């Protein structure tokens, strides 16, 4: 599917990519530029200047910072790919739902046509602290699957998106990526697949083993973690 389907030189649209130095955000910037969009790339720290992209810097956890940087801007489409990992899911909800809410509030009155929110597989398997635990639907997952009965910042973000869409009149879409692999600018942390290494590291091992088997069935083929986790579970 072409992101800019229908866009021409006479109807050039402006995309605001939030989290533009992340894995998904940077790929979106590349794709949008190739398709002829004008791109506003928003991140805490701007990357190198390039044709077709104008960098904006803001602290997404500060409503005042976001409002100030977006005050002169008029994007027609918004792609929200940013998130901030916190110690607990309640903190994730407060911070990540707040970031989206504040950003959409800063765009109020700017005639935004569409907002695309990127979430992910944890919509179906639960947050980090309850990953693949309890009852959940089997694969393949479907959009109409009910939410899990546990706190999840993805759900809180969707609620903020829907409330803003109702108030401001833009259309919306939610994109639940299965697995995102790539390089995020300025992020040197290693990939950790929740539930696989947990099978080795958790004292009881039980839920971690269940998560490891499910993650393996879903296609998480990180060789070292898979080998250590599943071998432990078979003992």
Active site residues: 122, 154
- Residue 126 CA to residue 122 CA, distance in Å, equals 5
The token pair at 45 is 């720290």
178-to-121, 131, 190, 218, 233 alpha-carbon distances in Å: 5, 14, 18, 9, 24
Beta carbons of 18 and 103 less than 8 angstroms apart: yes
Q: Which of 131, 113, 111, 112 lies closest to 121, judged by CA?
A: 131
Helix (H) or strand (E) holding 80: strand 77-80
The token pair at 123 is 């919509």
- Residue 89 CA to residue 206 CA, distance in Å, equals 21
Number of H helices, E strands in the chain: 9, 6
Residue 109 C-alpha from the chain's centroid: 25
């Amino acid at each position: 599917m072409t992101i800019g389907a229908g866009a021409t030189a006479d109807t050039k649209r402006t995309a605001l990519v939030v989290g533009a130095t992340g894995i998904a955000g940077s790929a979106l910037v590349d794709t949008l530029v190739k398709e002829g969009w004008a791109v506003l790339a928003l991140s805490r720290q701007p990357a190198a200047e390039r044709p077709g992209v104008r960098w904006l810097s803001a602290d997404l956890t500060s409503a005042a910072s976001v409002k100030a940087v977006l005050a002169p801007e008029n994007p027609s489409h918004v792609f929200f790919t940013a998130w901030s990992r916190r110690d607990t899911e309640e903190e994730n909800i407060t911070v990540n739902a707040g970031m989206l809410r504040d950003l959409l509030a800063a765009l109020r009155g700017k005639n935004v046509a569409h907002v695309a929110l990127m979430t992910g597989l944890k919509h179906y398997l639960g947050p980090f602290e309850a990953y693949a635990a309890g009852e959940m639907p089997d694969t393949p997952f479907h959009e109409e699957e009910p939410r899990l009965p546990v706190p999840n910042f993805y759900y809180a973000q969707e609620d903020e998106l829907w409330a803003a869409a109702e108030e401001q009149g833009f259309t919306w879409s939610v994109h639940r990526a299965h697995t995102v692999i790539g390089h995020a600018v300025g992020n040197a942390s290693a990939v950790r697949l929740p539930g696989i290494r947990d099978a080795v590291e958790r004292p009881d091992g039980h839920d971690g083993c269940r998560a490891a088997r499910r993650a393996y069935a879903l296609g998480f083929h990180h060789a070292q973690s898979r080998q250590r986790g599943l071998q432990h579970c078979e003992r």
